[in-house]
Structure 1
Amino acid sequence: MHPLALFDCLISSLESQHTQATSAHLSARLAYGLTETTSRAETPVRINITSFASASSISISVGIDIPRVVLEFRISRLQQAPERVAAPLSTGSRSSKQHQNNPPKALGRSGPCARPHNASNSDDDLSRHLTSRRRQSKRLPHICGEDDTKTPALGRASLYLANELLAAVARFLDADGDIDSLVRCNRRLYHLLVADLYRHNAQHHEGSALRWAARHGRRETLERAIDTGVRLADFVLLPLAAEGGYLEMARLLLEQGGADVAVSDEGDWLPLGAAARQGHREVVELLMDAGADLETGYLGWTPLNVAANSGHVDVVRYLLDKGADMEHRSESGWTPLKSAACNGHTATVTLLLQRGADVRAAADRGWTALHSAANSGHGDIVQLLIDHGADPALPTMDGWTPLTLAADKGKTDAVRALLCKGADISLACGNGWTPLTLASDSGHVDIVKLLLEHGANVMSPCNHGWTPLSLAAGADRATVVKLLLEHGANIAATNDAGWSALLTAADRGHRDVVEALLAHGADVQAHTHSGWTALHAVAENGDLELAKLLLQAGANPMTGNRSGWTPFHIAAHNNRADLVQFFMGHPGTNFVQKDNNGRTAAFHAAMRNSVDVLDVMLSRDMNKSEVVDVEDDYGTAAIVAATRNGHAAVVRRLITVSNYDMASTDIFGRDLLYWAERSGNVDLLAIVKEHAAQKGYDSELPSETAGNPVRWVDDSCWCEVCTRCTVLGTTSWECPDCDEGCFLICAECYEFGKRCRDTTHDLVPHLCNRIE
């Protein structure tokens, strides 16, 4: 509950009652108000009021206990009663003597809804008495309004006491909202406490009300603050008024508020800069007349800079007439011309050029006004700048020309303007990207068409040999691909690594582009320097629909790359069960075809824990043991590879079809039970032990790491010898020549003397540091 609501109830009661009102009635009014206001209270509020009124004295005692406000007041005033007032508080048939012997009970102790009895004679006497006393009293202007004489005299004494009580209470309130609520009660309270409200806000809330008034143009609020004695100069208000364009308020702050034109706001904006930024010319003139500095601003942005940046041409003209430096640079090197050009303010650019602004002035990284205009797409300003001497071939420090910037951002108007003004269409930016390669990669069809119409080389490559067609294909720009093909782009062209447009599109899964390229005769069997075809890329990514499209165009799932991996191997290795099933339906699919390490697709599935792939493969009617028991070049069978890596589900599946000899040992002299125990996988060990018992085999090879599983690295790193994932934190060895530099040998195999397929190759250390 707002504490001031209680006081409002008290005031309402006192104003509406005669001084001889019975305590019962007054108590009832206060109780009603208290009940009404405390019903919304969040915390308990206690109020105790005791009063005594007679012809000679009025005494009010108020005790209020409110959260954060505890007040105790006792006010007593004696009044000289006329001799003829015999029974000022007489009620009913009681005699004055009886009443004098039995004074009324204290406020709040009488009946709950007692009404005062008629005492007209006493009322007249008391009214004349109080009227006389009030006229003799000195008026307190901070308590009573000027219309005080129009208020009925009856009860005025109690109102004086209430005013004093409220004035005292206001001094104890610590929130503007409390005082404001009290001020809003009625007109008398407004005159009483409005000055306290302004002073309190200024002293305790950093003049928030004043800042609000300055920001919203409420001049009368500032005038009232001045009248109440608040020093406006103690607060930064002028930048707020200037930014809002409040001319008269700014004048008031300068003339009566003591505002300083050199003091900035919280954002470090000076008044002149704030007004110029918003285009308030009259305020700018006022501040200039008050002595504001033309060449000072936030981060070096002078009033002219910000006015040009916002396109306020009238302010720009006025500041230039006042001598502002139009070549002044901000801390980042921006001139007024560059600011206006960047934001497309043609009239401002025209004015600055007429006044002789330097079109070659460059900001940080070498950006001129022309670069900014082209980058933002303002074709009319591009033409203006070039007509006034700007160089369209001038690059930034990063090698960007205005044309490459416009082409990259898709700014057709700027590109057209630059081409009309003779910009070199073949100039590339620092990384070798021409306007056409940039536009093709970004998919700006209109600009690609415009550049081709102006003679751009459709086959101009950027760094690493990427052509506009390959870039568009890789970025899924089907419309641009078709446009380039129509203008003679070579569909078979590749980059430095042998990637064609078809391979790039297939690798990134862009089906529409692949269809467009195949329709124009792209070679589906074209491969990179490492032997990867489009189908290899699709098999790795698992895009079944795209694989169907490529097979329909003649792709072969059994074509191997330089490592001997076919799309069939890759799908099995990456657990692409749907693709494996699809490839199995191809007439040329060979289940036992090996890669360069002697591994079949089933071996890859077992090594990489691809249970779904094994289920699909073993569901076919064939000699399953011939498929799963094929050993690689290091004498490892699929079931051994799965056991070394702890793949219990794979081993359980293979045991049902494998004829692997449990007593056989590998190149390390270790059997299957050894690897199962060493894996630390309890389920796997139980499966292998049960199978060994069924075969009548009991291993005599203890495992020194039993029950202590190894922390494997991310599954993209595995040893090509033992097939295990390489161990975290240990140094493996890598052959840069075999398998495109992906041939790894774990530390343990290296210590056993194992090497890559060519012992003459030099190995380099490789540290796996990614945890799965």
Structure 2
Amino acid sequence: MSLLQLPSELILYIAEFLLAERDINVLVQGNRQLYELLNPLLYRHNVQHRQSSALTWAAANGQLPTLEKLFDQGAQITTTLPESLEETKEPPSKQPAICQEQEPQIPDHPLVHAALHGHATVVKALLLRGAHPDWTDRRGSTLLMIAANKGHVAVVRELLQHGADPTRPDSLNATPITIAALRGHTTIVEALIEHLERYHTTVMSDTQNQAVVYAALSGHTTLVRFLLDRGVPVDTPGHVNSHTPLFYAVRRSDEALIRLLLERGANSLYIPSEGNKSPLAFAAGYCCNEIVGMLLDRCADLGTEGIKAMHAAVVRNNVWLVGRLIARGVDPASEDEHLHRPLVSWAADLGCLNIVRLLWRKGLMRRLVILTV
């Protein structure tokens, strides 16, 4: 007598003595009759003996039918946040954890895997079964951050609809909207702003303002324009080091973004804090003449920032910039803030002979010699 000729109850009884999930799976794949009879046993075995490990696989692969079968066999998911998430976090790094290139080291909660891989229907199913919408991974990134980082708009909307907190920061004060802005996901930024306007008006302004800083940091011109059109101040300082969007655009040598920000009134001379550089001073030291020229054209009075730019021009032996700065009224006899001597009196020491010749032609060398004697 073959196995298939046995009564179904007896086949089930025999199959329950199989200890390994793989052995049950081999039997299930024998034919359609065995599949229909033993497939529920396979899921029940996973729930009872493997801590419902298939839930993670189903969530990561968007297999909603598999998920439902596991629940039918008694699978359970954690529905409350741990009392102390700090115990599950890895040591902080220098940037938001979710922005690092490697995949996050995430725990086995199915909802985290579903959000990471963009399976909105699975996310919804898990949320409806009581999963917490603000679950975090081991590095403190919320589900909203994970979805925003990957650009999963549908997942973001599902989480917001079920009460996820878009203002909740990670250990470095990154939020879902700053993560989305950093990645240039305009649609997600729009969805988060819409939600903030409706439910979190008290933090709306600052959250939106930080988004433009992060968007500029990564060079997302379209997103920067969208935020500026919404009334975000063009010279919004970032929380990390107080630099403005223009500074980050200059640091990237992003001419299109620089032009947009200047057209909206960005200040080329803005100094975030003591010891930091303005966009103009930074550009003078590191950027091409075209970018420096764009910034100079928007400055009415250079003041001390002109002296800093002159210093950078001398260091780079940039004759063109020295000439432009002199034409704008920067005195080459001004003292360098660090060396406490006229800026160009040490041009020869640096081998900047072209700058010396320029000053000679302009009749400035005689005065400089007198000042340095």
TM-score (structure 1 length as normaliser):
0.38
Task: Write the letter of the residue equivalent to 1:324.
Answer: H
Structure 1 residue corresponding to 2:272, chosen from 505, 522, 528: 528
Structure 1 residue corresponding to 2:314, chosen from 572, 590, 595: 572
Residue 75 of structure 2 corresponds to which residue in structure 1?
357
Residue 504 of structure 1 corresponds to which residue in structure 2?
248
In structure 2, relative to structure 1, the CA distance for the partners of 1:601 and 1:394 (3 Å cut) is: same
- 1:352-751 equivalence runs, <5 A: 352-360=70-78, 365-455=106-196, 457-460=203-206, 467-495=210-238, 497-530=241-274, 532-554=277-299, 556=301, 558-560=302-304, 565-584=307-326, 586-596=327-337, 597-615=339-357, 617-618=358-359, 620-627=361-368, 630-631=371-372
Task: Write the letter of the residue equivalent to 1:535.
Answer: L
State the Cα deviation string for residues 318-372 of structure 1 (Å, max 9, x = none).
Answer: 5542452236669xxx921112211222222232233332222999754511111
Q: Distance in 1 between matches of 2:216 and 2:57?
A: 37
Q: Distance in 2 between matches of 1:338 and 1:611?
A: 68
Task: Write the letter of the residue equivalent to 2:60.
Answer: C
SS in 2 for 1:454: helix
Residue 294 of structure 1 corresponds to which residue in structure 2?
20
- Shift in Å at residue 571 of structure 1? 1.5
Number of matched residues?
A: 322
- Shift in Å at residue 440 of structure 1? 0.9
Task: Write the letter of the residue equivalent to 1:342.
Answer: A
SS in 1 for 2:165: coil
Q: Distance in 2 between matches of 1:318 and 1:354?
A: 14
Q: Distance in 1 between matches of 2:193 and 2:279?
A: 29
Q: Distance in 2 between matches of 1:477 and 1:606?
A: 42
TM-score (structure 2 length as normaliser):
0.74
SS in 2 for 1:571: helix
SS in 2 for 1:605: coil
- Shift in Å at residue 468 of structure 1? 1.5
SS in 2 for 1:551: helix
Structure number with higher helix proportion: 2
In structure 2, relative to structure 1, the CA distance for the partners of 1:627 and 1:354 (3 Å cut) is: farther
Q: Cα RMSD (Å) of the superposition?
A: 3.6
Unaligned runs of 5+ in 1: 1-284, 308-313, 632-636, 638-772
Identity of aligned residues (%): 25
SS in 1 for 2:345: helix
Which protein is bigger by CA-based radius of gyration? 1
- Shift in Å at residue 394 of structure 1? 2.0
Task: Write the letter of the residue equivalent to 1:467.
Answer: Q
State the Cα deviation string for residues 480-519 of structure 1 (Å, max 9, x = none).
Answer: 1122222232333323544222223223322222222222
Task: Write the letter of the residue equivalent to 2:64.
Answer: T
Task: Write the letter of the residue equivalent to 2:348.
Answer: A
In structure 2, relative to structure 1, the CA distance for the partners of 1:337 and 1:581 (3 Å cut) is: same
Q: Distance in 2 between matches of 1:413 and 1:546?
A: 39
SS in 2 for 1:480: helix
- Shift in Å at residue 539 of structure 1? 0.4
Contact conserved, 1:577 with 1:612, CA < 8 A, in 2? yes
State the Cα deviation string for residues 77-120 of structure 1 (Å, max 9, x = none).
Answer: xxxxxxxxxxxxxxxxxxxxxxxxxxxxxxxxxxxxxxxxxxxx
Structure number with higher strand proportion: 1
State the Cα deviation string for residues 98-146 of structure 1 (Å, max 9, x = none).
Answer: xxxxxxxxxxxxxxxxxxxxxxxxxxxxxxxxxxxxxxxxxxxxxxxxx
Unaligned runs of 5+ in 2: 1-10, 83-87, 89-104, 198-202
Contact conserved, 2:356 with 2:365, CA < 8 A, in 1? no
In structure 2, relative to structure 1, the CA distance for the partners of 1:317 and 1:366 (3 Å cut) is: farther
1:347 counterpart = 2:65: yes
SS in 1 for 2:190: helix
In structure 2, relative to structure 1, the CA distance for the partners of 1:303 and 1:393 (3 Å cut) is: farther
Higher relative contact order (CA 8 A, sep 6+): 2
State the Cα deviation string for residues 462-488 of structure 1 (Å, max 9, x = none).
Answer: 9xxx82111111211111112222223
